[in-house]
Amino acid sequence: MSVKYTEDHEWVNLADDGIATVGITQHAQDALGDVVFVELPEVGKSFAQKDVAGVVESVKAAADVYAPLDGEIVEVNEALRDDPSLANSDPLGAGWFFKVRLAQPAQFDALLDATAYDALVQNA
């Protein structure tokens, strides 16, 4: 498995089976504050890269969650829907948002690695 990042502050963990798990980064949850609601995509729905796939709302703001890659949603995190605070307490683990079967695996390679994402955050 390997993890990459988007300029929209999402992380993408690609498993060997071609299924990618997507969530918001530590930086995103820090900026949002306490998450109180998440809207997750419908399983079976397909998205193009950069399509709005969900929404995260906090006490400070609401933000769109974008599809980081073309593909079909194969699973959503029902535990996150029931307890949105997981996006704060464990954004890179139990706070994942959805899993997507990639339509174009090469898109993953174009995402930011950890060094590039850290530089993006530092220069924001």
Residue 71 in 3-state DSSP? strand
Q: What is the pLDDT of residue 1?
A: 57
Question: Which among 3, 12, 14, 122 has a CA at the least distance from the CA of 66?
Answer: 12
Regarding beta strands 2-5 and 52-58, do their DSSP bridges make them parallel or antiparallel, or are they unpaired?
Answer: unpaired
Residues 6+ apart with CB under 8 A from 96: 21, 22, 23, 77, 80
Q: What is the pLDDT of residue 123?
A: 84
Q: Are the CB atoms for 69 and 12 separated by under 8 Å?
A: yes
- What integer is the mean pLDDT of 15-38? 94
Average pLDDT over residues 19-44: 95
Architecture in CATH for domain 2-102: Beta Barrel (2.40)
Q: For the chain, what is the radius of gyration of the CA atoms?
A: 13
| C-beta atoms surrounding 78 within 10 Å | 9
Using the Cα atoms of residue 45, residue 32, residue 118 and residue 86 in order, give the sign of their dihedral. Answer: negative
User: pTM of the prediction?
Assistant: 0.94
Q: Is the pLDDT of residue 48 over 60?
A: yes
Average pLDDT over residues 13-40: 94
Residue type, 75: E
| Arithmetic mean of pLDDT, 61-79 | 96
Confidence of residue 2 (pLDDT cuts 50, 70, 90): confident
Average pLDDT over residues 41-70: 96
Is the predicted pLDDT of residue 124 greater than 90, yes or no? Answer: no
